Chains A and B, each alone.
Chain A
Amino acid sequence: MRSVAVGGGHLAYFAIKALEEMDPNGKIIVIEFTSEKVEMLKKTFPFAEAVLLSIEEVEDYVSGNRFLIDVLVSATDSDALNLRYAKHAIKSGVPIVIAILNNPLNEPIFVKEGVKYVINPYKTITSKIKEVVGKFRVNVVYEFSKVDGGIYALKVENSKTLRKVKSFILKNDSPFFVLSADKRIRTCSVEDIQIGDVVYISCHDREVRGLLKRMGG
């Protein structure tokens, strides 16, 4: 498939690597705005085509190639530019448009503007710190991109929380597994969940929101 990445910096690096990994036989085009950066990209990504365009030419490029581009990733160091390019690509009919955020505070703005796939690389910071330190009630471990839901870690500290978690799982028939205090990863029945376990539940966002609120998440 034909993938276009706008930006060749820090954020784009990982996006381009992922695209190449997914489809080694595909066509990857990376757009940058200065000739020095384009030369650098040619060395860093020999499998990709590095293209020099001005800020305004990118939109014309996308419009002109809208029947061919399968994926567009906007990963410049400016969220304003990423939003602009993402909206233009969506309007041009590019099927998969992904924007990578520099500032996580822009996530609701991107979503409101109709950009469905927004990557906030900083969400991992919060969940990892909570996981490592271990002092949490609720931890959002992963959020799905195409479905409103994810994987949530719930720490069972006392009998009250244990009751809430068990009742939630039974009511919503949510799949789950447990990381017990002795660091065993296990699947078990709801009855076998114990105080001290961390329960990883996968469910829809709307199902878990009430529980997260009650548990102080």
Chain B
Amino acid sequence: MRIALAALSIALAIFFGSKLGNLIMRNLSKFGRSFASKLAEIVKYFLIILGVVVAFSILSLDVIVLTGVSIGIFIVLLVSLRDVFSNYAGEIYLRVRRPFDEGDFIKIGRISGRVVSINSQDVELVSVKGERIVVPNQFFLKYPVVNVSSTTPSSIELKVIFKDVVPEEARKMVMETLNEIRPELFEEPKIVSISTKNGKTEVDLSLSVVNQQKTRWLIGRLSKGLYDRGVEVEIE
């Protein structure tokens, strides 16, 4: 009789776990299917474990020891995997609250970049220099995130430093090179100022771009353009 009741307890736990899992899937799929399925799995297995504990108690097995061991294992897991659980909690926060979406440009602390993907443990960004940055989700629970998504163009300020080139010549070469890259810019490029310092000619430029990730490419293109004109420069 007890064995039958214990078996029933486990069977009911599996049944309700499955039903609750499906309910979670149906209602939380809108936040992401894989996210919902993970949560459904956790709830399902939690109920099954509960069913097993109840079955053990029905069979008058030493539930206290079992419960104690379970709690012990749970605490060890919680401590050793706290970052994992924190990151998972961060994912829940990001899915429900949606402070940003894929494609948005965000700043968190000193890190900034465009969001490539929101994952269960982390968020992947691409910086303006094209670097891939991975931010653990728990950071979004602790630090403010600024969504600076903007489709308006931003200015890139560059300083081109020529050695042994007079200002007029430097201006001419810069203008010619800028004309070549003009199709990539949002507006006409501006030479803000030209000055000489310690025998070097410094040309300050302001370039307007929509895609901030273009910066590195522009610097490379500018260097190449000037190199093709016979000068080596530093660009800051």
Contacts and interface: CB of A to CB of B under 8 A. Distances in A.
Q: Do chains A and B touch in the complex (CB under 8 A)?
A: yes
6 contacts: A67-B211, A70-B214, A94-B211, A95-B105, A97-B103, A114-B103
Contacts of A70: 184, 186, 209-211, 214
B114 A68 contact: no
Chain A interface SS verdict (over half): loop
Interface in B94-108: 101-103, 105
Interface of A: 1-2, 23, 25-27, 66-71, 90-97, 114, 116, 146
Contact of A67 (B102, B117, B130, B185): B130
Nearest to A71: B210
B175 to A, nearest CB: 14
B182 A68 contact: no
Interface residues of B, number: 24
B12 to A, nearest CB: 37
Contacts of B101: 90, 114
B126 interface: yes
A26 B183 contact: yes
Contact of B102 (A2, A25, A68, A91): A91
B157 to A, nearest CB: 18
B213 interface: yes
B102 A96 contact: no
A96 B184 CA distance: 14
Contacts of A71: 210
Given A25-B183, A68-B184, A93 B114 contact: yes
B216 A67 contact: yes
Given A1-B183, A94-B103, 14 more contacts: A1-B184, A1-B186, A1-B211, A2-B183, A26-B183, A27-B183, A67-B213, A67-B217, A93-B103, A94-B211, A95-B114, A95-B151, A96-B151, A114-B102
Given A25-B183, A70-B211, A95-B210, A146 B216 contact: no
